[in-house]
Amino acid sequence: MRESERLANALALYPEDTQEAAALLKQAVPLMMRHGIPPNPVHYALWYTYCRGHEPDLNHQLDRLVKEAGSFPADSATKLFRDYIIRDELEAAHAGQQQAIDLVDDMERDVSNSVKINLNFQASLEHCIEMLDEPIALPSILSELQQSTQLIQDQQTLFLSQLRAAQNEITSLRAKLERVQLAATMDSLTQVLNRNTFTRLLEQALGNEPQGVALVMLDIDHFKQFNDQYGHPLGDRVLQHVGQLLRNALPAHGIAARYGGEEFCIILQRCADGDSVYAFAEQLRLKIRTLRIKTRSTDELLDTVTASFGVAFAESGDSVESLVTRADDALYKAKRNGRNQVQ
């Protein structure tokens, strides 16, 4: 499995576009300030969700806390975040953990039974050896050995069957865990990495060796007007097509992510020079321009999709913020200069 496929999640939890998210934050931040709530990711997530109004129980809990406590206890915030924001991920992880525990318990029981049968067989052999001093007892010896041997064969057959079942269970459990991991790193709509994972991987790339690391940022042109004209479902299809195009076009050491709304990022590593990065971005621009999307109801061919690109090469001492800022500045330069170009 490629790194980009193995490695969404915050954006899956918060599918709002940039405008919607900004409007919700304009409500959430004043609420936090009014109640003296420290600005940190957990608190932002809770009050952003509060303003969305999709979790009435959470809203009730938050209202009660700020009214009764007069403050916002950190342990309460953590519990609410766990219970209302990431509960699905935790439930999936707990279910996987319990399956693993049950599987180990079953295997321990089966191995214990096998050991017990073998000890009984050993005791039977010792008894038979003692009986060999009495020739008349030979038929009894053979009968006892036959029964003990049959018990061992039956236990070994059962254990082998249960071991194979355990192997199948392990395979199924591994697949479930991989799906949970994938859901925590991927953007569910576009199937590229989410912003949190992008930030972590870019920080890792810069920490390992900034030499040869480049960042490509792209923004779909006039996307708001597209959504207004054709509706959000068709806008989602455009994002899905662009995500697929990015996945197919990635080089071996490339990582694609949805940065937010209609904006995407690509981390390139082991780049020879700026010209090769520019050429890669230019090829992507041309491929996006060739996308043709039709409405499902009328089969009407929609307007050509274009995107503006900003490219930045990592320098010694770069942080995630400084590299993203330079790529973002280049992207907005492309937009100011007429869009559908690489800067």
* CA–CA–CA angle 28, 34, 35 (5° rounding): 95
Instruction: Please name the helix (run of DSSP H) or strand (run of DSSP E) that holds residue 36, with its range, or none.
Output: none
Residue 266's contacts (CB-CB under 8 Å, 6 or more residues apart) are 215, 216, 217, 218, 246, 250, 254, 255, 256, 257, 284
Catalytic residue from among 3, 16, 91, 262: 262
Radius of gyration of the chain (CA): 30
Q: Where are the alpha helices (DSSP H) in the chain?
A: 3-6, 10-13, 18-34, 41-52, 56-68, 74-80, 87-131, 138-183, 195-208, 223-230, 232-249, 274-289, 320-336
Task: Give the Cβ contact number of residue 305 at 10 Å.
Answer: 21
Q: In the annotation, is 262 catalytic?
A: yes
Q: How many Å apart are CA 249 and CA 230, to the nearest integer? A: 27
Half-sphere exposure of 243 (CA within 13 A, CB side): 23
Residues labelled catalytic: 262
